[in-house]
Structure 1
Amino acid sequence: MTPVVGETQTYSLDDLTRVPWVLGTHLHPDAGPIGRAPEGSRVLMIEAHDFARRKPYHHDKLTLVFSGMRHFRDELRERGYAVTYIKADSFGDALSEYFADHPDDEVVLMRSPSHRSAERFEELVRDAGGQLAVVQNELFVGTREAFDRWANATDKQPFRHETFYRWMRRQTGVLMTDDGNPEGGEWNYDGDNQEFPPDGWESPPVYHPDHDDLTTETSEWVSEEFDVWGEEDGFVWPVTRAQALRKLTHFVETRLPEFGPYQDAMRSDDWAMAHALLGSSINLGLLHPWEAVQEIEQAYYDRTDIPLNSAEGVLRQLIGWREFMRHVYRHSMPRLSDANQLDAPHSLPEFYWTGETNMECLRQTVEDVRQRGYSHHIQRLMVLANFATLWGVEPKQLNEWFNATYVDAYHWVTTPNVVEMGQYGDGVFATKPYVSSANYIDKMSDYCGDCYYYKTKDTGNKACPFNALYWDFLDRNEDELRSNHRMGLMYSHVDSKQESEEMAEIRDRVTTLREKAGYGEL
């Protein structure tokens, strides 16, 4: 499998001293160096443990990575490869061990999307006395070079998702007609994907892989070896390519028709809704995104039960948003990692770890993450990131939390999603803060009905914190945001609250909320 937008790098591993080095996020047998290595070749895999000790990662995230690597090792051996699998505290220790045994080898590594990873690996290999060749990452739909050529040549803003997405649609031909127009006449059907399901709607069943003893043993080892967070029972994520392919097929056959209209909805005790749940498999390399694109698009054309807004909605994530995040990240780092253009000063509230809050939307969402290392995109953006932005959490802290707690999270994924989209940290592509009061959460969920707080109150006893925090956020960031043309209507309301002196009551309410948070009573 290779990218379909841009040119694939040409190289050979016929010389058996050129050895594929497979990272834990490159677990596709047909992509990159391993896809070119002849049967019988030596393969290097390093299971480094030191990263897992740096923060309280979700149990399921570590289980997923380590079990995925161990299964891939065994599958390669069954195919006839001679896999050198080294468990070590660090990559440096493992590389020193490897090159002491194989001093003449050159290891060949697919470039990781993480910032400066290639340079860091080059340093480690050089320090170990070895040789390293870094080659193109083939686990995306498009290449870095293709994006850069287009970005340099286009007269439009390349760091606007809709601009990029339309370019990718044209380049790939996905959901495009023979005359070069988008299927159905529109590029984007997001307006059809914001409904809340009616009473009695049942979400389609979720595929749960049948995990073997190796995964069970890995899960138990993770619990014993590391200081993990989250629930340790009920592991639901694919760890092999076969499981990931079955999950893709199950989504297309069973869940895709229901995906579109309700993809933004949040419902109590329904963690999966009709979402694809493929992110962890794609980000590990168990699935290539183009495989998913092809199967979903073909099903849309072959069947009559898949509405266009369902097919377009999920394909937009695969050829649009995921690819866009990669390019935003690599062009904006390292600045983006520490970005904080609104000078948010506060620490992440403890209830992001404990779930102990009277706000039902946050309590349920944190519980979803604690259970499985997952919640869907609107919970991430409009509950978790929304509250953190309104509260004034330093973006880097929220980014670290996402990186530790989600099974599909890696620095290249979370940084543009959390720091920029979630918290308006830089301005590289977000045109306004994505914040809201309780009104949006009430519209798109059933959380507010059972909440301790009153969704309609801004101030006073039991007034929903989202409401006072929303107006306080606009008030305290007025110098930075009032000139934003997309914020004009909101600031007309701010003006009214300032003139009526209601804003003073709102500030008092926010002071009370911060005191309650300090006592663990929010």
Structure 2
Amino acid sequence: MSDSTTLWLLGDQLDPTLDALAAADEVLLIEASGFADRKPYHAHKLTLVFSAMRHARDDLRERGHDVTYLRADSFGDGVAAFLADRPDATLRLMRPPSHGAGERLREIVTAHGGTLELVENERFYTTPADWHAWTGEHDSDRTYRQEHWYRHVRRETGVLMDGDAPVGGEWNYDDHNQETPPDDWEPPEPRRFEPDALTRETHEWVTERFDTWGNDSLDGFGWPVTREEALAALDDFVERRLPAFGRYQDAMVGTEPFLAHSLLSPAINLGLLDPREAVDAVETAYEERGVEPGGYDPSSAETTLEAFRSDDGPDGDDTTGGSDDATDGDGGATDVYGDAASVPLNAAEGFIRQVLGWREFMRHVYREAMPELATANQLDQERSLPPAYWDGDTDMTCLSEAVGNVREYGYAHHIERLMVLSNFALVYGADPRELNDWFHLGFVDAYHWVTTPNVVAMGSFGTDVLSSKPYASSGSYVNRMSDHCASCPYAVSRTTGEGACPFNALYWDFLKENEELLRGTGRMGLMYSHVDNKDDAEWEAIRDRAKRVRELAAEGEL
């Protein structure tokens, strides 16, 4: 039996500072590419994943590690090649977050005569033991709510805490993160990393070897592929875009795919950047340059994403395209939030909530809810995704913009993902599994453990494990949070008839179609009071319009 230990690093475990590396005699990386034959992945996603692995190989070698790098069709082929001349080798692997992956890889190693030890994954703040200590005994029928978990982790880690109380006195500043920017606001350009020779070589191989989807040119590719670039991306976000991130976090602006978002999720999910580093950098920036949030009175805002998260919820009835109260406040960012270098508390807390709260929460809910979560479909929705999700060809400005951003960059920010891409698929009646596959293959930061709870549970309401009501809305929400409706040929002020916003009739038809399940959830009362106020003639017009919208969408003519 060999006394040496080989640390097997997967393609999402590329952090050269891992504690597990210190105890390893050798490092194994297997570039298993067969998965990319099974779906038409975005060319940028495949380029990013394979380039990051190859750069990590070189970086680890420069740091003095003995690295074996194997290219194979499958992990089975790679393990067989590695163990061919060392049948008694002991491998160690940080447990992958995707369901059953660790056990499947252990079976592969065992079948080829080796031994695989699974150890805790360092790529997260919290462990399964931490989660179970908080939740108690596992219950397959249990539902989970992020806010309670988020507060618990804040207390345990001390992040943004003032003793036993949250910094600023509030746990969550989401109601300060829902403004739309003024017309003359220009977001800081994100840091773009010019592809080097190895990335270009990788991209050429990807586009020749695989059938891909989306933009297959490197012109729009600027993602960090090395640890050094990931750290530079973090510094750039904290210094230049974090000050504006909070207040415009939920906004959608035409021709501005990135706004002030961090764009760090690909690097974090690959392991090039530790989530603790991102949280610590943002918390430090607030400690050094922080100001209190301010501006409009959030109690005056109408339909916001927070309403979806609260017990009240939006009624979805306002399709008149009224003004967004959240933008009628006290002027520009410098008036309310200090100078351009200041870091508002709502910006720092909003980012930290995404990483420390939501990312950790998704990982654990995924573990608890699988494997049933992957096929959950409590609304029995079975329609195929409309062609617009693949070609972006639709007159709906919001959908065209969101799909266009995914096709071009392999990216769309969280509101586009939830309130346009998932929302439309939900009220249209798309199969959650097909939507999940689309997110998985199209987004550069998507992995099964990330997309499945977000898309199947939250976006598609395939199960109530994450939320007690669906994230469905009419065109009113898009109108309040974007500039899309002003240039759209569809009228957001109309529900029925030719030229009416497709979201509106689909929304009401969705509520009527799923009334038996949704009316009794306890959080849908206001919505169904509006359902009850519509007479037979109005419902006939709504259903006619919804039917026509679905026909046009299915034919690629919407």
TM tier, shorter chain? over 0.9
How high is the sequence identity, in percent, across the aligned residues?
A: 55
Match of residue 526, structure 2, among 477, 489, 512: 489
Larger deviation, residues 97-106 vs 260-269 = 97-106
Question: 1:211, CA displacement in angstroms?
Answer: 2.5
Q: How does 1:12-411 map to 2 (within 5 A)?
A: 17-37=4-24, 41-152=25-136, 159-178=144-163, 180-232=164-216, 233=218, 234-304=220-290, 305-411=342-448
Larger deviation, residues 198-207 vs 400-409 = 198-207
Provide the C-alpha distance between the structure 2 equivalents of 1:33 and 1:108, rounded to a whole number of angstroms: 9
Q: Is the 8 A contact 1:22 1:34 kept in 2?
A: no
Question: 1:397, CA displacement in angstroms?
Answer: 0.7
Secondary structure at the aligned position of 2:368 is classed as helix
Secondary structure at the aligned position of 2:104 is classed as helix
Determine the structure 2 residue equivalent to 1:513: 549
Amino acid of the residue matched to residue 113 of structure 1? P
Determine the structure 2 residue equivalent to 1:9: none
Provide the C-alpha distance between the structure 1 equivalents of 2:405 and 2:389, rounded to a whole number of angstroms: 11
Larger deviation, residues 231-240 vs 314-323 = 231-240
Q: Deviations over 1:400-449 (max 9, x none)?
A: 00000000000000000001110111111211100110110011001111
Amino acid of the residue matched to residue 270 of structure 1? E
Q: Any gaps of 5 or more consecutive residues in structure 2?
A: 291-341
Provide the C-alpha distance between the structure 2 equivalents of 1:73 and 1:16, rounded to a whole number of angstroms: 24
Q: Deviations over 1:59-102 (max 9, x none)?
A: 11101110000001011111222211110111111111110122
Amino acid of the residue matched to residue 69 of structure 1? M
Amino acid of the residue matched to residue 73 of structure 1? R
Amino acid of the residue matched to residue 400 of structure 1? D
Provide the C-alpha distance between the structure 2 equivalents of 1:226 and 1:110, rounded to a whole number of angstroms: 29
Q: Is the 8 A contact 1:235 1:372 kept in 2?
A: yes
Q: Is the 8 A contact 1:64 1:239 kept in 2?
A: yes
Amino acid of the residue matched to residue 238 of structure 2? V
Question: 1:519, CA displacement in angstroms?
Answer: 2.8
Q: Is the 8 A contact 2:88 2:113 kept in 1?
A: no
Secondary structure at the aligned position of 2:467 is classed as coil
Secondary structure at the aligned position of 1:501 is classed as helix
Provide the C-alpha distance between the structure 1 equivalents of 2:289 and 2:541, rounded to a whole number of angstroms: 56
Determine the structure 2 residue equivalent to 1:502: 538
TM-score by length of 1: 0.94
**Count of equivalent residues:** 502
Question: 1:150, CA displacement in angstroms?
Answer: 1.4
Secondary structure at the aligned position of 1:101 is classed as coil
Determine the structure 1 residue equivalent to 2:321: none
Provide the C-alpha distance between the structure 2 equivalents of 1:400 and 1:36, rounded to a whole number of angstroms: 37
Provide the C-alpha distance between the structure 1 equivalents of 2:235 and 2:543, rounded to a whole number of angstroms: 52
Q: Deviations over 1:448-504 (max 9, x none)?
A: 11112111111111111100000000000010011122211111111111x252011
Question: 1:153, CA displacement in angstroms?
Answer: 7.7
Question: 1:515, CA displacement in angstroms?
Answer: 2.2
Provide the C-alpha distance between the structure 2 equivalents of 1:209 and 1:16, rounded to a whole number of angstroms: 42
Secondary structure at the aligned position of 1:482 is classed as helix
Question: 1:114, CA displacement in angstroms?
Answer: 0.3
Q: Is the 8 A contact 1:468 1:507 kept in 2?
A: yes
Determine the structure 2 residue equivalent to 1:5: none
Question: 1:143, CA displacement in angstroms?
Answer: 1.2
Q: Is the 8 A contact 2:289 2:343 kept in 1?
A: yes
Provide the C-alpha distance between the structure 2 equivalents of 1:16 and 1:220, rounded to a whole number of angstroms: 41
Provide the C-alpha distance between the structure 2 equivalents of 1:441 and 1:55, rounded to a whole number of angstroms: 31
Question: 1:236, CA displacement in angstroms?
Answer: 1.2
Determine the structure 1 residue equivalent to 2:311: none
Provide the C-alpha distance between the structure 2 equivalents of 1:368 and 1:89, rounded to a whole number of angstroms: 31
Q: Deviations over 1:367-410 (max 9, x none)?
A: 10011100000000000000000011111110000000000000
Amino acid of the residue matched to residue 243 of structure 2? P
Q: Deviations over 1:223-242 (max 9, x none)?
A: 00111111122211111000
Provide the C-alpha distance between the structure 1 equivalents of 2:16 and 2:265, rounded to a whole number of angstroms: 18
Determine the structure 1 residue equivalent to 2:462: 425
Q: How does 1:468-487 map to 2 (within 5 A)?
A: 468-487=505-524
Question: 1:158, CA displacement in angstroms?
Answer: 7.5
